[in-house]
């Protein structure tokens, strides 16, 4: 029997000693102080998160969680719901955009079925396996009813923590990715519920529904928030937010963020959907916030509000709105470079010692 309550795992505090040691090393490297800009700050931050004075990113992983959404029947997406299932197969066959990007940046991809409609998707022979963490066969229509039961919301969060502790245990950096037709509507509703932002400010065109479609999405989000009485900021239970207006993949990714943080593994936030999951994780356990790292500035309007609420400054802006973890995967290269320069560069003292050895 599924539980009605969720207990986030204990998350270690930022290691100030490791960060200070990393900063001292940065100051001693053979370069003008601050000349590597944000790469220096990122390396110091990862040192404090991992507790390692010279951290490396040698085993990055993108986790892609997929699920369906009943709200899609209200015309909030330009695509039919069966595209979620089709894309899950594409991830398994390594045919998706994030598959190509992950290959370029040297990252593994873990694909998770959190609640895709229909029978479980099998893994093609020779392709990546699909992790079965199905909580249900898609959510209910969040505009009319709670998206899921409270036990199912807890189950999704627990599945994410479990995924972090098992399938992502060997990763030293995890990027959050997702797939689910209709999930930008759920993400907008969750963002409005957690931050108190007006639905019109956090709801975008998603898959490209145009002005009329966007207006329909805003109305759906407003109706969902009114139905669930989630409009007043600060007066809600995060699990209730997930239950009423979330999605199974959103809950799972929030759990992944919490589980990774508990293991001192930094988490890279992608676009507006994984951003909503990050907001949920932060609402459940504020200690997770330092472990949430930025990637890009997403094209969806709600993403900027999410980043502001989480105190995240994006690394780049490529006008991305695909999801899948594509922007977070691209950011992996930056985090790898930040740690590699921090670890491999010589210090001024090293150069001086080498020069003396040559002279001798």
Q: Which residues are catalytic?
A: 324
Nearest C-alpha neighbor of 43 from the set 13, 60, 21 = 21
Q: Is 311 left (phi over 0), alpha (psi -120 to 50) or beta?
A: left
In 60-182, alpha helices (H): 82-92, 97-105, 150-166
- H or E, element range at 264: none
Q: Residue 163 contacts by C-beta under 8 Å, 6 or more apart in sequence?
A: 63, 110, 112, 131, 133, 252, 255, 256, 259
User: CA torsion sign, 41 to 42 to 45 to 50?
Assistant: negative
- The answer to whether 107 touches 88, Cβ cutoff 8 Å, is no
Strand partners, 146: none
User: CA torsion sign, 207 to 212 to 213 to 217?
Assistant: positive
The DSSP annotation for 270-302 comes to -SHHHHHHHHHHHHH-GGGGGGEE--B--SSHH
Q: Is 112 left (phi over 0), alpha (psi -120 to 50) or beta?
A: beta
Strand partners, 64: 111, 177
Q: Which residues of 305-321 are buried (b: 16+ CB within 10 A; e: fewer)?
A: bbbebbebebbeeeebb
**CA 339, CA 175: separation in Å to the nearest integer?**
16
- The answer to whether 245 touches 153, Cβ cutoff 8 Å, is no
């Amino acid at each position: 029997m599924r539980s009605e309550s969720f207990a986030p795992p204990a998350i270690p505090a930022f290691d100030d000693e490791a960060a200070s040691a990393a900063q001292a090393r940065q100051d001693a490297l053979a370069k003008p102080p601050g000349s590597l800009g944000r790469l220096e700050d990122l390396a110091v931050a990862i040192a404090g998160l991992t507790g390692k004075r010279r951290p490396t990113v040698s085993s990055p992983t993108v986790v892609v969680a997929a699920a369906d959404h009943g709200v899609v029947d209200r015309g909030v997406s330009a695509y039919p719901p069966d595209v979620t299932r089709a894309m899950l197969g594409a991830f398994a066959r390594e045919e998706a955009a994030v598959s190509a990007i992950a290959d370029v940046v040297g990252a593994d991809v873990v694909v998770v079925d959190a609640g895709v409609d229909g029978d479980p998707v099998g893994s093609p022979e020779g392709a990546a396996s699909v992790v079965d963490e199905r909580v249900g066969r898609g959510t209910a229509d969040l505009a009319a009813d709670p998206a899921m039961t409270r036990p199912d919301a807890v189950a999704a969060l627990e599945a994410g923590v479990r995924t972090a502790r098992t399938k992502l245990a060997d990763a030293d950096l995890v990027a959050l990715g997702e797939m689910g037709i209709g999930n930008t509507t759920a993400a907008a509703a969750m963002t409005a519920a957690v931050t108190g932002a007006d639905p019109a400010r956090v709801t975008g065109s998603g898959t490209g529904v145009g002005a009329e479609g966007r207006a329909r999405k805003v109305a759906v989000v407003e109706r969902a928030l009114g139905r669930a009485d989630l409009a007043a900021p600060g007066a809600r239970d995060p699990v209730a937010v997930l239950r009423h207006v979330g999605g199974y993949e959103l809950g799972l990714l929030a759990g992944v963020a919490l589980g990774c943080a508990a293991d001192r593994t930094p988490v890279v936030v992608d676009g507006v959907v994984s951003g909503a999951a990050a907001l949920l994780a932060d609402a459940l356990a504020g200690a997770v916030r330092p472990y949430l790292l930025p990637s890009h500035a997403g094209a969806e309007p709600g993403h900027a509000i999410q980043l502001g609420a989480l105190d995240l400054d994006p690394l780049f802006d490529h006008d991305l709105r695909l999801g899948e973890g594509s922007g977070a995967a691209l950011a992996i290269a930056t985090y790898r470079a930040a740690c590699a320069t921090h670890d491999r560069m010589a210090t001024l003292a090293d150069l001086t010692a080498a020069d003396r050895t040559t002279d001798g």
